[in-house]
Structure 1
């Protein structure tokens, strides 16, 4: 009997050891990067005939495009390629007539299984006649096991990030990785996306303009506060030298809501060197909410600018994109103060 129990224990130990080994191998394989790190902050040229004219007013759009998954973003549902094709067409049809000079994107895929391996930056740049894009990769994993169940809903291979499309030359483009959620275990952060500040320097005639494109932490308020404070410090490196546009998905809304009781965006609203393109007194108005796109209730998406050298002449929410994403874009028209 003792020999039998010893055999069972030995066999069980071998099985357990193999399972642990398999989990360790999966962890290192799945959390590994498959894209060249040299391309994490790339400037890409596209073979389109984008034209610019001597103009006094410029149009800028910021859009969390939600990898064109519509209202299914992060849900454990089965999706067909037709959904993404239709949403891509909707976005192109909506944005093309606006003839924007710059478009910043968050949550845009460049080759992910979840969006059928389509390079959405390239597709949009070509369709909207942008000849250049600055890219900041923030999620490069061989296999992301999320949503957790069913297994068929796993994102799998992920290559995603942020992008700035420009009709004017992008002379410099870099990415700064922001704080991770310290309270999360190491294996969670190993698969989680990087929260990134993308800094694109753009040459307009004889003037350099800085666009800072961000996508801040969504689920942990203390981390989002740290990230926002860092962005505030980062601004000080640029606002004295350049016209600056700070934009993106800040995952914070005014006024506070139960899910977001501490509006970290207040840090930026109170920063004297920049100003919200959407007047602060209007931010409480549900008519300018950007999320969710079918019935907007809150505002996560903002544009800030340096008022000493930029004047905003117009702003609005671009609801023509319908539900191609779970967010709606913000459009701002501006000109430089001479």
Structure 2
């Protein structure tokens, strides 16, 4: 074979091999894609000794996106314009996890709604955070719903995110009579959807001292990086229909979590430094104030931000911060008070939100 033919053949062979590898990878991730059902029963780990919630008692709910114990103040994240893909180290994850347990225990609540808790993820050094919290809160019922279960996330190409198994997690000081994982509508297009989140809500049914009237505690983590708001709109409509169904049947409803959108009345520039690049703020939009109904009550604290941007490690006054974590509750739930726990984003890119409620008869 002469050199001229060889020069032509080698690039063709390289191109063919590249197409084969890419095709094989796409076939693999498509076959391995996490495909949850629309409704799935969530396994309940028993621990609570309280069978019913008394309506004459106030109770506290703490909500916190713990950022898989990897997005602490010293870290950034590539999706937000930073460089890091994983937590800084296994020791950092373990330290943040211990701090999370201590903060939850210090702010003793009847319910804990946790988002971005990892079970088996490269980004958090495969530490089972769900198991750690379950073992710590032995007198609570606990339940988990996966919203991210990918064998390999290939982005970024130079240092892939890899294996991710993560979701939302609820701890209840009262017996959970029933728990369901409900798949939220909407998805990214193929092939991106094969390695992306499958957003869900986790619904826990709590019996009360009023026969046939339950408290439905909804743990949610709505879509991020949804610049056009297409996915969030579908998710909000789904939540609206579900919440109204429970309420119209005579029950109480509290939905809490990371909404990934601004609460009504929060100024977009409330905590924003002057040097925040606009391309990092494409996801910012407002939740509709009356998307469930005018009598439904938003419950959040506007005095302290609950989330920071991760384009660089946290420096107070330099990173963009705002309020996207909190609750909405049905008209028959009284809000006693709510406050964000200011931790200076030391252990997570979100702050805990602690609220107190009472069920109205």
- 1:158 paired residue number: 164
* Structure 1 length-normalised TM: 0.83
Deviations 1:102-161 (A, max 9, x none): 111111111111112122112112213343222111111111123x1542xx22111011
Partners of 2:346 and 2:284 lie apart in 1 by: 28
- 1:288 paired residue number: 304
Partners of 2:285 and 2:25 lie apart in 1 by: 38
Contact 1:232–1:268 (CA<8 Å) still a contact in 2? no
Distance verdict in 2 for CA 1:266–1:214, change over 3 Å: same
- 2:272 paired residue number: none
Partners of 2:141 and 2:344 lie apart in 1 by: 22
Contact 1:66–1:73 (CA<8 Å) still a contact in 2? no
Task: Say whether residues 1:263 and 2:285 are aligned partners.
Answer: yes
Partners of 1:306 and 1:300 lie apart in 2 by: 19
Deviations 1:11-58 (A, max 9, x none): 433332222111122233346548896997522315x5x444976121
Distance verdict in 2 for CA 1:229–1:335, change over 3 Å: same
Q: What residue ranges of structure 1 are gaps of 5+ in the alignment?
A: none
Partners of 2:267 and 2:22 lie apart in 1 by: 44
Task: Say whether residues 1:226 and 2:234 are aligned partners.
Answer: yes
- 1:44 paired residue number: 44
Partners of 2:144 and 2:181 lie apart in 1 by: 9
Q: Name the SS of the counterpart of 1:186 in structure 2.
A: coil
C-alpha RMSD of matched pairs (Å): 3.0
Q: Name the SS of the counterpart of 2:338 in structure 1.
A: strand
Contact 2:335–2:356 (CA<8 Å) still a contact in 1? yes
Partners of 1:219 and 1:36 lie apart in 2 by: 21
Distance verdict in 2 for CA 1:244–1:270, change over 3 Å: closer
- 2:273 paired residue number: none
Contact 2:261–2:287 (CA<8 Å) still a contact in 1? yes
Distance verdict in 2 for CA 1:5–1:177, change over 3 Å: farther
Partners of 1:307 and 1:165 lie apart in 2 by: 24
Contact 1:42–1:136 (CA<8 Å) still a contact in 2? yes
- 2:325 paired residue number: 301
Distance verdict in 2 for CA 1:174–1:52, change over 3 Å: closer
- 1:235 paired residue number: 243
Q: Name the SS of the counterpart of 2:247 in structure 1.
A: coil
The CA deviation at 1:82 is: 0.7
The CA deviation at 1:318 is: 2.0
- 2:259 paired residue number: 250
Range that drifts further, 103-112 or 15-24 = 15-24
Q: How does 1:80-95 map to 2 (within 5 A)?
A: 80-95=89-104
Q: Name the SS of the counterpart of 1:225 in structure 2.
A: helix
* Structure 2 length-normalised TM: 0.78
Contact 1:132–1:166 (CA<8 Å) still a contact in 2? yes
Deviations 1:188-238 (A, max 9, x none): 222221222222222345542111222112222322233223322222221
Distance verdict in 2 for CA 1:156–1:255, change over 3 Å: same
The CA deviation at 1:101 is: 1.2
Partners of 1:322 and 1:256 lie apart in 2 by: 20
Distance verdict in 2 for CA 1:203–1:211, change over 3 Å: same
- The count of aligned residue pairs is 323
- 2:222 paired residue number: 216
